Amino acid sequence: MRQFHGANPYDRLTLWVKRLLVANFILFLMQMMFPEIIMTYAALRPINVIQKFWIWQLFTYAFLHGNFLHLLFNMFALWMFGSHVERALGSPFFIKFYLYCVLGAALTQGIMAPYAPVVGASGGIYGILIAFGFLFPDTIIYLFFILPLRAIQAVIFFVLITLVSAVSSGGSRVAHFAHLGGMLTGFLLLKFPVWKENFQLWRAKKRFQNPKGRRRVSQKKMHDLQEEVNRILDKISAEGVESLTQEEHQVMKQYAQKRN
């Protein structure tokens, strides 16, 4: 079991986390400059998707936010957890996972409140939180920077809070059902991935969930080790050698020793 202190400021942000951060801040600035046109065409209004077939709103809403604090909270969570999840899943699958969670959140909110406008990346962010708990269940995180919980316990806590909020929200402007939709979509994709043949989650979960497996790579079968090395080589090709974690450097070192 290990403690989690968020993203290391000295580690390079992963590819899609960086792009999502930049895109969200740019779109927020555009939203401030041209609020009427941006909100009309980019915010999610489920009834417009149905009646006018503005299907792009199922995704564009996730790059807009109600205010700066809304943006800051979501981007802080993306910065803290996103890179860990992207490294585990691989960049191509991470962005698909994120966008599916955004879509699932939009559809859920649309079913429950078809006339209410929706903005915010929370659906995708909650999907990332589910993925973090799924991949790193025993990692200790500090809820509200005070209460130490295992990652899976923190995820369960957020699910329960969101569920209660959704049921008792009344006239609240917070899209609690979108949060639930993002969580549910993330869970289903992790539990029953639709691209199972190519999805890297199963190797990632095995690699990260078991601390012994992480620290004692030499005990792996050579076939499993070769698969891990291939993944790391793909990462080097896509992001550069400086993107490797300390654990990945150790895997390559042990692989070289075995080959010799």
pLDDT tens digits along 214-229? 544 444 456 677 777 7
Total number of domains constituting the chain: 2
Beta-carbon-side half-sphere exposure of residue 120 (alpha carbons within 13 Å): 26
* Highest mean pLDDT pick, 2-11, 182-191, 199-208, 235-244: 182-191
For the chain, percent of residues with pLDDT exceeding 90: 36
With a cut of 70, say whether residue 5 has pLDDT above it. Answer: no
With a cut of 50, say whether residue 169 has pLDDT above it. Answer: yes
Lowest mean pLDDT among 35-39, 64-68, 134-138, 228-232: 228-232
Band of residue 22 on the pLDDT scale cut at 50, 70, 90: very high
Report residue 154 as tokens.
């923190």
- Annotated catalytic residue: which of 83, 91, 122, 243? 122
70: annotated active-site residue: no
With a cut of 70, say whether residue 66 has pLDDT above it. Answer: yes
**183 and 105 belong to one structural domain:** yes
In angstroms, the CA 78 to CA 18 distance is 9
In angstroms, the CA 37 to CA 7 distance is 35
176: annotated active-site residue: no
Report residue 173 as tokens.
């402007």
**215 and 138 belong to one structural domain:** no
Mean pLDDT of the chain: 79
**219 and 182 belong to one structural domain:** no
Q: Which of 253, 216, 215 is nearest to 232 (CA)?
A: 253
Report residue 196 as tokens.
């199972």
Band of residue 2 on the pLDDT scale cut at 50, 70, 90: very low
Partnered with residue 3 across adjacent β-strands are 140
**In the block, residue with structure tokens 């295992």:** 150
Report residue 68 as tokens.
């700066």
3-state secondary structure of 185: helix
Last residue of a domain, one of 139, 164, 191: 191
Q: Which of 240, 232, 234, 233 is nearest to 12 (CA)?
A: 240
**124 and 80 belong to one structural domain:** yes
In angstroms, the CA 16 to CA 185 distance is 19
In this structure, the strands spanning 140-143 and 147-150 are antiparallel
pLDDT at 250 (0 to 100): 76
Band of residue 240 on the pLDDT scale cut at 50, 70, 90: low
**135 and 246 belong to one structural domain:** no
Beta-carbon-side half-sphere exposure of residue 49 (alpha carbons within 13 Å): 24
Report residue 141 as tokens.
């995180």
Band of residue 244 on the pLDDT scale cut at 50, 70, 90: confident
Band of residue 78 on the pLDDT scale cut at 50, 70, 90: very high
- Annotated catalytic residue: which of 83, 176, 179, 243? 179
8 A C-beta contact, residue 63 and residue 42: yes
More confidently predicted of 88 and 170 = 88
Containing structural domain, residue 151: 15-191
